[in-house]
Amino acid sequence: MDQIQHKFIEVQGLKLHVAEIGSGPNVVVFLHGFPEIWYSWRHQMVAVAEAGFRALAPDFRGYGLSDPPLEPEKASFSDLIKDLAALLDALGIDKVFLVAKDFGAFPAYSFSLLHQERVQGIVTLGIPYRPPSRPVKYHEDLPEGFYISRWQEPGRAEADFGRLDAKTVVRNIYILFSRSEIPIAAENQEIMDIVDPSAPLPPWFTEGDLEEYGSLYRKSGFRTALQVPYRSFKEELGTTDVIVKVPALLVMGEKDYVLKFPGIEEYIRSGKVKEYVPQLEIVYSPEGTHFIQEQSPDEVNRLILDFLKKHI
């Protein structure tokens, strides 16, 4: 961890924070989810660097130590994709492997559609590729208290989170998202109130880890994070060819609550997803949860490294 270096790169008028370790011609860029930042890739960054790769993990705009956009409520997935291209240009990097978690899968796959020549391969954890013809409509089949539906409602999550400090918000979401059930609040209950204040952290997530996240979200707040991803899912990116033509790996924890989203498990297990990602390999982790890269770093490191070495 101490070997990880930190720098700020000016991209599209904003200074983005980038964590970096390792050297060599083959570059791996790690894209985080929510409520995460670069730190969620700490185990994987060290592992790929020790295997001879150069590892980069940016904080998306408005997350962690990166500058927020001037108007967070207008932030978009398109911004993240353009930021990634500009970041690689600024660092003089032509081609990369992308490793993405949670909503980071959306800009990763979209980047590969728009800039196929710059992507050697994609690894996603917990989220399969879904083309524009199969939009996300989970809220239509789940109760009103579904967390994404609640967080899409302007002002509601802001009020819910605003009752607590940033560290407690992250704590509650880590506890919720590490369970195997979809987070759904009762009619007169807020998402933060689902978690009992006495509930313990997952055993693989320390108080020190929580403090790291808490300090970074105290700096950034949640304005941009609520806009991207939760209020940007319907965004049109203008891609015409929706078939992913690079090698890909999906690591799916069988205890990840996302697998219970309506239609997701069938979409993956039936092989339908491979119609859109022909070179996709799927690996299931029997005990894996939504935070599998922090829960089972040795397992995930091995899977990522096997994939990288296969496609250098």
Instruction: Record the tokens describing residue 42, joined without a space.
Output: 């700490």
The question of whether 102 is a catalytic residue gets the answer yes
The question of whether 276 is a catalytic residue gets the answer no
Please name which of 200, 247, 216 lies closest in space to residue 42, comparing C-alpha atoms.
Answer: 216
Q: CA 17, CA 41: separation in Å to the nearest integer?
A: 14
Contacts of range 183-187, beta carbons closer than 8 Å, 24 or more positions apart = 183/146, 183/147, 183/257, 184/142, 184/143, 184/145, 184/146, 184/147, 185/145, 185/147, 185/150, 186/145, 187/144, 187/145
The question of whether 139 is a catalytic residue gets the answer no
- Counting Cα atoms < 13 Å in the Cβ hemisphere of 273 gives 20
Q: Which of 102, 160, 209, 256 is an active site residue?
A: 102
Q: Which of 63, 230, 257, 276 is an active site residue?
A: 230
Residues carrying an active site annotation: 102, 230, 290
